[in-house]
Structure 1
């Protein structure tokens, strides 16, 4: 009877956590669905915003998007709405995730994770902004430089709406995710999986890796690759600097606590 009672007592908190998780997931799905409905209503305006770099690369009044399949534009608007809805609702979804996890953390752990939660959207937006305002116009102008003629046959750029949207999403997601490199490195360092000293020793390999990642996630023009590789390496060096500051702060706190214990 005692064993059954203990099982009941352990199952009760588990059920409470599952019920809370279900509630927070439902809220997140509801927010995403509402955001999707609003974004789908403004899908044309959002698509026009995403197409502005192409407009700038072509010149005023020269850009056009075509579609070769009847339902293509409809699915493009669905993808645009879903992409925009996730971007809009992500802060609320992240807040729901944090509200579910936070009660199980100590105050010290909450203070440790809070900077990462704040830095993640800021770095992602910075990377996406770099892609939208700098990289995409530069890359599109480079692509359009191949227009001309082949044996008297004109070669024109007539991108389809679906292909263009896929390319824009690739740019934005690639740059946004790559800019989260400091968050990843600092989390791994705090978890004890890597150290600053090991990263310093691997600097030359990191440079090769940064160039390789830039070559993979960007289109094959040198300008886009350099524009991504440069900030990525700067972020890597910035992560090393932050690690150095945090390590010195921890060392000072350890020494102060040791001196206090010796005094006692």
Structure 2
């Protein structure tokens, strides 16, 4: 059942190799009888069948520890469900004390799903007036480009751009470094992109704008041929340039355009 569920998710979504990892973790749960005889014989050579020793300590102590862990786990669960924490009482304070130990968490890879899809577009310009866009290999960009299927490949840059779009750029230190490398014309970084609108020399200015994307309806797609419709939301980060080879803010007049 778990295997079928993971295969269904993998066939209908782009979750990289996460579904494969889950399937691999399920392999040890299979009964030995499902494996060919040759593999079962090979397993017997390397697996120690000696029963594991029982846990030390009175059952009451183990039960108390498990009870404490369960109660503490209610705090991150309430946070993940966006529920009120007032009913937790002193548990919230106890969780804060235990948090550095990392002994409880909600362990959810996608515990909170976003309801909107903001997408960052990177554009370059030499005069601050005419802007040309860089196209990423996998994430949405050109509204007419059909969404790709890349699993089990994990496109790290495109994946991080999605997280950046739902975060404050000031907390995404890597994003500033990425912009600096684009302005420097770094070939290894530019190879991560699908298109480079400045093949001869990098642009003087770089900006990141964010749009709210949504899938077009069937009628809209038939009319325009577009898979996406984007609603401009404004600048994601200040317009950037290079000064003495280092990243810097562009002149104030460019920030208002």
Pairwise same-fold verdict (TM > 0.5): no
TM-score (norm: length of structure 1): 0.20
Q: Which has the higher helix share?
A: 1
TM-score (norm: length of structure 2): 0.20
Q: Which has the higher strand share?
A: 2
